[in-house]
Amino acid sequence: MASCTLPLQEALNDSISSGLFADTKIILYSRRDGASGTIIKPKTLYANGHVLKSVPYFGNQKLAESEPKDFSEPIDEDEQAKKYGYCSDSDLEDEEDAVDVGRAVPPYGESNESSGKGAVIKIHDIALITFQAFLMYLYTGHIEFAPYGSKENRRSRSKEIVSLSEDSIPRPSPKSIYRLADKYDIPPLKRLALDNIRDGLERCDIVEEVFNKYSSSHEEVRTIYATHLASVLSRAEEKSVQGLWVKVDEKIGRYINGNLDHAVDATTLLWKLSKGNVNCPPVTPAAEAP
């Protein structure tokens, strides 16, 4: 069983005399609309501000700027997230599967407004599932990730995969946690996420991961993917590698023709890693329109 972190011990000690523990309401988004890709369905979590302030981002900015408000004030459940920035986030529920997933993790199935008063913060770019797992990490120093693979998303996860146990916290995507830890500057959590990403390299669609928008935004992750792909491509005698070359050829062809602009860093890095070590088949650009 994971032990309490020092900030949590301090918060628990304070709560013994104050009678209060959850003094911060956090509004996050939980779902992705299947038709438009819009991030929707805000829900609430509750946290201890002392523990949150152990992360400088919250101590210096979010909580410092937040005026105490009544927790019972309802949230606008029709509101959409602004500038989410990661629409393929697998920690978001897909609209058509939201009911089943909501039953797997009860707090997500319905609004959970609470009484009391305290800081209220709204986060537009982190999924509810990701942030709840992050809070548990702050409390216990422990996190467990969902099985990793770029073809897996929340829709394909069973109840057992989503949750550690009945009515328990969810297992988040390591990519979602890395993105959070990068934003909030939490190096130990970034390392845990990166280690989990490395462990899943053999199970993911590596070409897709190298060239997707997520990798274009996260250099450390992009380097891990590209280094692994270059290593695999160096084994030219294996039949499976030939199939990868077809995919790489297609991606680079799209980049050359201006249809994959975000992949400039990935393409450059893969070339540098592969040069001299890989028998690169020629890239065939798409035919130009007459």
- Tokens 């990519």, residue? 175
pLDDT tens column, 147-167: 765 444 444 455 545 555 445
How many other CB atoms are there within 10 angstroms of residue 239's CB atom? Answer: 6
DSSP code string of 26-61: EEEEEEE-TTT--EEEEEEEEE-HHHHTTSHHIIII
pLDDT of 102 > 70? The answer is no
Tokens of 203: 């199970």
3-state secondary structure at position 67: coil
Structure token digits, residue 18 = 């104050």
pTM listed for this prediction: 0.81
Is residue 67 packed enough to be buried (19+ CB in 10 Å), middle (13-18) or exposed (0-12)? exposed
pLDDT of 276 above 80:
no
Cβ(68)–Cβ(129) below 8 Å: no
Residue with the bigger pLDDT between 149 and 103: it is: 149
Tens digits of per-residue pLDDT, 13-26? 888 777 778 889 99
Grouping H, G, I as helix, E, B as strand and the rest as coil, residue 65 is helix
Dihedral (CA of 49, 51, 54, 57) sign: negative
How many other CB atoms sit within 10 Å of the CB of residue 82?
Answer: 11
Distance CA 211, CA 231 (A): 16
**Local confidence band at 174 (pLDDT 50, 70, 90 cut-offs):** very high
Q: Where are the beta strands (DSSP E) in 84-235?
A: 93-94, 117-127
The per-residue b/e assignment along 92-110, b for 16 or more CB within 10 angstroms, e otherwise, is bbbbebbeebbebbebbbe
Where does the pLDDT of residue 68 fall: very low under 50, low under 70, confident under 90, or very high at 90 and above?
confident
> CA–CA distance from 253 to each of 230, 245, 283 (Å)?
18, 12, 6
- Quick one: average pLDDT of 134-150? 85
Q: What is the structure's pLDDT at 108? A: 41
| Owner of token pair 């146990």 | 165
Q: What is the SS3 assignment for 70?
A: strand
Least confident of 101-110, 176-185, 270-279: 101-110
Res. 99: pLDDT tops 60? no
Main-chain dihedrals φ then ψ at residue 217, nearest 5 degrees: -100, -10
Per-residue pLDDT averaged across 190-198, rounded? 96
For the chain, the helix, strand and coil percentages under 3-state DSSP, each to the nearest 5? 50, 10, 40
Q: Per-residue pLDDT tens for 47-61?
A: 998 899 999 998 876
Reported confidence tier of residue 228, pLDDT bands at 50, 70, 90: very high
Q: What is the pLDDT of residue 242?
A: 79
Q: How far apart are CA 126 and CA 74, in angstroms?
A: 20
